[in-house]
Amino acid sequence: MPDGYLVQLGDTSLDPNDSIVDPLTSFTTDTIIGTGDWIWSGTWNGQTFTNTSAPGVYYLATNDNVYFVPDYGPVNTITSASVETAPSFSTNDGIVSGTAGDDIIDDTYTDSDGDVIDGGDGTGPAGNEDLVEAGDGNDSVASGLGNDTVYGEAGMDTLDGGDGDDLLIGGSGNDSVLGGDGNDTLYGDDAPQQGQWDYQVFNYDFDSSNFQAFDIENGTLVGDGQTDEFDSTTLVNDARGTTGDPNDFGVIYSSQLLASEDGTYTFSTTSDDGSTIQIFDENGTPLTWTNQGGGTADFMDNDRHQAATSRSGEVTLEAGRLYTIEVRHWENLGGQEISGTVTSPSGTTENLADSALVIGPESNAVGDDVIDGGAGDDLLFGNGGNDTLIGGTGADTLYGGLGDDEMYLAEGDVAFGGDGDDLFVLGNLNEIGSSTITITGGETGETNGDTLQLNAEVTPDDITFTNTDDAAGGLSGTFTMTDGTVVNFSEIENIICFTPGTRILTEHGDRAIETLRAGDRVLTRDRGLQPIRWIGHSTVEGQGKFAPIAINSNVLDGARRPLLVSPQHRMLFSGYKAELLFGDPEVLVAAKHLVDGRAVRVAPRRRVTYFHLMLDRHEVIFAEGAATESFHANDLGVAAIAQPAREEMFNAFPHLRADLNAYGDTVRQCLKAHEARLLLESKNSFALAA
């Protein structure tokens, strides 16, 4: 353990004129910084020295202090001493670190190591490409100049990338992520880890035949986890321990693949025994491969009982698209080998396991995030939670991921809703040109489906539909905005509410819905008179999927006049068949599911206004004598109303702004289309409740 004198760094770096002070101190070495000189005044061996230069060694100790050890040994007394020459050294670690509290991290913030945003201690030519780790707490980070990487980590963080091509990662919590200028990559939750794969290990009794890769799941799952390499032998041994046949196993590796350029990619595996590769698009549809030796399939085929053999296949990918990749490997008897490569359209070949294209499995972190790309061609990932993604200017790509997301699009943007009931809102940011907008709603994890909100430039009459059956893959079609921007969409649905003139039963009798105001009391089936908390309306083109539904008065028990309602507006149904089929004596049925072309029919018109009447909770109310529903503030219902009306609703229910689920469940079970058809098949045996 050396003895030396403490160097008092003037800032965070070792510089000439930094003070060196008594007493002589024993310390534990972390790093030898290097040699240099000090200038000292004092006494040694009975002599007095003034401003004397002498050599020595600078050390970084384990307590993070810097010490100077003179080559000639310690002196008796020091009246003054300082650094004369020294090697380059700084205590900065190049990472701007936050604390566990609520930090404001910008170019005025200095962390415990002395690191500062845009302080020259980052990477890049000017040292302004910063790495920021905000830590726990509700942090605010402005990373400023350069191509920065910012981790919000835990808490409700606000991240602003500023200039440059930034990577911003919100982490857990409900974060706001703003890219600013440049071509940014933005994650609301945790970013996947490049070169990481999920894996599953199965025991299975394979035989000596070919084409067994898709039998793997028929075995017994014995282990799973994450890995950064294709090492089936180690994974199997770790998973099995001493159990199972050492030769009969199957491993499935899966991850996410982000294509870097358009074109044909060549993938290969070398395996003993069989292996395959499948790549799936955002909806889980497998892509088509051209395999070595000819022929097409929805997988790269190296699926043989064989010694180590290499085979390849070609598949077309689109730049910026996020795919799922799955590698299967099975072994019956032999060498247990598996490896793979990928070659890009430009000719670059990489090891598949750790390729830069493999960005890792989707994060498990969940937050309801707001992600704004700003200027530039950005990549936005909502991941888990109910997120808001705003592309901004430039050709952006938006991935909603899990949850019910809102996406705001303009020229040149591509959006994929992923799971859940998503809202896509078109805008015009007056950008130069008219690049195509492409929207894919996604068909998984839906309750009511996805909504496309048109802007004022477009009406449903402008749309050319290629699919009008929302029960068969959702609506799809194309239209052109006034600036020439072509919009292609698929897998889309929508929702809206009542029309003017409909009379609602109140404490003063029936009143036209357009005359009602917040505070007026309406009669409910379950809780008597209840006050209206909010009432709003939306005017839309009354064509296609927006066309109202006309219901004759003889269809609804108690109805005194025909009703004109939106397709998704629900009527109350009661009777023994409801209880027999669905376990409830009363259920709600959407008007569009009652259409028979006679007593209940689609009634298109040029424009139609729908009213939304909202109470403290979802209720059964009475319209023209028939039992029906009040407005329910689910994600899709709120998404379908205009922004000004939505803000009015949030002013009446401020707690819903953060969580629409706080409004509660629907007052009755709501039937799906096929369930409603079961009731209509025996139409004479039911009555819509009054």
- Whether residue 347 sits in one domain with residue 226: yes
Answer yes or no: are the C-beta atoms of 359 and 381 closer than 8 Å: no
pLDDT surpassing 50 at residue 287: yes
Report pLDDT for 690.
36
CATH code for position 213: 2.60.120.1560
Task: Write the pLDDT tens digit of every residue in 176-205.
Answer: 898 888 888 898 888 778 889 999 999 999
Q: Are 345 and 262 spatial neighbours (Cβ–Cβ below 8 Å)?
A: yes
CA distances from 424 to 255, 369, 415, 480, 573 (A): 27, 16, 8, 16, 32
Candidates 164, 171, 182, 155; CA nearest to 118 is 164
Please say if the pLDDT value at position 422 is more than 50.
yes
Q: Are 443 and 467 in contact (CB under 8 A)?
A: no
Q: Cα torsion at 586, 590, 593, 596 (round to 10°)?
A: 90
Cα separation, 611 vs 335, whole angstroms: 69
Domain membership of residue 655 (yes or no) is: yes
Q: What is the pLDDT of residue 358?
A: 94
The last residue of a domain, from among 298, 323, 351: 351
The pLDDT score that the predictor gives to residue 459 is 60
| Per-residue pLDDT at 343 | 97
More confident residue, 233 or 530: 530
The reported pLDDT for the residue numbered 328 is: 98
> Which structure tokens are listed for 441?
């709603």
| For residue 93, pLDDT beyond 70 | no
What's the number of domains the chain is made of? Answer: 3
386 belongs to a structural domain: no
Question: Is residue 69 domain-shared with residue 209, that is, in the same domain?
Answer: no
Same domain, 204 and 78: no
Query: CA separation (Å) from 104 to 109, 161, 576, 620?
Result: 7, 14, 62, 49
Residue 361 pLDDT > 60: yes
First to last CA, the chain: 91
Domain ranges, residue 600: 503-688
Q: Of 34, 57, 85, which one is at a domain's C-terminal end?
A: 85
Let me know if residue 629 belongs to a domain: yes
Q: Which residues of 165-199 are buried (b: 16+ CB within 10 A; e: fewer)?
A: bbbbbbbbbbbbbbbbbbbbbbbbbbbbeebbbbb
Given this model, what pLDDT does residue 686 score? 38
Judging by beta carbons within 10 Å of its beta carbon (0-12, 13-18, 19+), is residue 457 exposed, middle or buried?
Answer: middle
Count Cβ atoms below 10 Å from residue 607 Cβ, excluding itself. Answer: 11
Residue 216 lies in a domain: yes
Which residues, 6 or more positions from 78, have their beta carbon under 8 angstroms from its beta carbon?
A: 5, 20, 21, 22, 40, 41, 42
Say if 378 falls within a structural domain: no
439: confidence class by pLDDT, cuts 50, 70, 90: very high
Per residue in 375-412, pLDDT (tens digit) is 899 999 988 888 888 888 899 999 998 888 888 888 99
Whether residue 142 is contained in a domain is answered as no
* Mean pLDDT to the nearest integer, 156-177: 89
Q: How far apart are CA 563 and CA 559, in angstroms?
A: 8
User: Can you read off the two tokens belonging to residue 483?
Assistant: 């600036």
Tell me the two tokens of residue 660: 């629409």
Dist. CA 331–CA 216, nearest whole Å:
10
Residue 257 is predicted with a pLDDT of 94
Mean pLDDT calculated for residue range 10-15? 83
Residue % of the chain over a pLDDT of 90: 46
Does residue 688 register a pLDDT over 60? no
Average pLDDT, the chain: 87
Residue 519: CB atoms within 10 Å:
9
pLDDT at 496 over 60: no
CA neighbor of 552 nearest in space, from 499, 612, 597, 500: 597
Q: Which residue, chain included where needed, has tokens 């020459």? A: 85
Looking at the domain assignment, is residue 475 inside a domain? no
Could you tell me which residue, 310 or 548, shows the higher pLDDT? 310
pLDDT per residue as tens digits for the range 605-655: 667 778 899 999 999 999 989 999 999 887 666 766 767 778 888 888 999
Residue type, 541: E
Residue 515: Cβ within 10 Å count: 11
What's the rounded Cα separation, in Å, for the pair 381 and 367?
12
Residue 222 falls within a domain, yes or no?
A: yes
Q: What is the CATH number of the domain that holds 590?
A: 2.170.16.10
Asked if 81 and 211 sit in the same domain, the reply is no
Single out the residue in 351, 384, 415 at which a domain terminates.
351
Contact status, residue 206 vs residue 275, Cβ threshold 8 Å: no
pLDDT of residue 684: 41
Average pLDDT over residues 94-109: 90
pTM of the model: 0.56
Task: Of 169, 167, 194, 159, give the one whose Cα is nearest residue 183.
Answer: 167
